[in-house]
Amino acid sequence: MKILALCGSLQAESTNLALLRTAAAAAPPGVDVELFDGVRDLPLFNPDIESRRAAPEAVRVWREAMAACDGVLIASPEYGHSLPGALKNAIDWLIGSGELESKVVAVTASTAGPGRGVLGLRALRTTLGAVKAMIVGGEPTVRSADFDRDVAALVKALVAAIAAARQAEIDAEPD
């Protein structure tokens, strides 16, 4: 099972990136959590770009990575009571092309205390609704003594949701 891990922050010392590394370490055997570091390389979304020529290389790489994964884990900060522009831009590049459609997506934010990051995650969930993503979690993860345990629980819930979605697909296939 392959999980694509996406960080909404572009900072080198990102606390959300650290959360994703904790998640990768907590993944059970047979589950590969792969960090996608190409969000920063994407041009600003503009449908004119593709109407004139083929999609830029960074967009192609992004779409291929999304198409190749079984599920997604996003850890993102809140900026200005919303999701970061870079993350919204990355998602916008997938809305027309479909690689994120109906995917199982776990979302969280690494936060310093209760109440932080909630509006950012709400905005992120609204955007993911545009591609009918199946949301897992959706609440911030406070950097407390329970942080590692909470991150591991989110990974477990994501893996279970991916397995359930796979089974539902198999069950829906005609005999």
Ligand X SMILES: Cc1cc2nc3c(=O)[nH]c(=O)nc-3n(C[C@H](O)[C@H](O)[C@H](O)COP(=O)(O)O)c2cc1C
Strand 110-111 versus strand 134-137 pairing type:
unpaired
Q: Does 147 bind ligand X (CB under 6 A)?
A: no
CB-neighbour burial class of residue 146 (10 A; exposed 0-12, middle 13-18, buried 19+)? exposed
Of the candidate spans 12-20, 21-29, 30-38, 47-55, the one that interacts with ligand X by CB under 6 A turns out to be 12-20
Cβ 26 vs Cβ 152: under 8 Å:
yes
Q: Does 81 bind ligand X (CB under 6 A)?
A: yes
Contacting residue, 63, 116, 122, 125, with ligand X by CB under 6 A = 116
Q: Which is nearer to ligand X, 116 or 156 (CB)?
A: 116
Tokens of 73: 């884990």
In three-state secondary structure terms, 5 is strand
- How many CA atoms within 13 Å lie on the side-chain side of 11? 12
Cβ 115 vs Cβ 46: under 8 Å:
no
Of the candidate spans 25-33, 53-61, 71-79, 154-162, the one that interacts with ligand X by CB under 6 A turns out to be 71-79
Of the candidate spans 6-14, 49-57, 90-98, 130-138, the one that interacts with ligand X by CB under 6 A turns out to be 6-14
Q: Does 11 bind ligand X (CB under 6 A)?
A: yes
User: Rg (Cα) of the chain, in Å, rounded?
Assistant: 16
Least spacing, CB of residue 108 vs ligand X, in Å: 11
Q: Which is nearer to ligand X, 122 or 166 (CB)?
A: 122
Applying CB under 6 A, which residues contact ligand X? 9, 11, 14-16, 77-81, 116-117
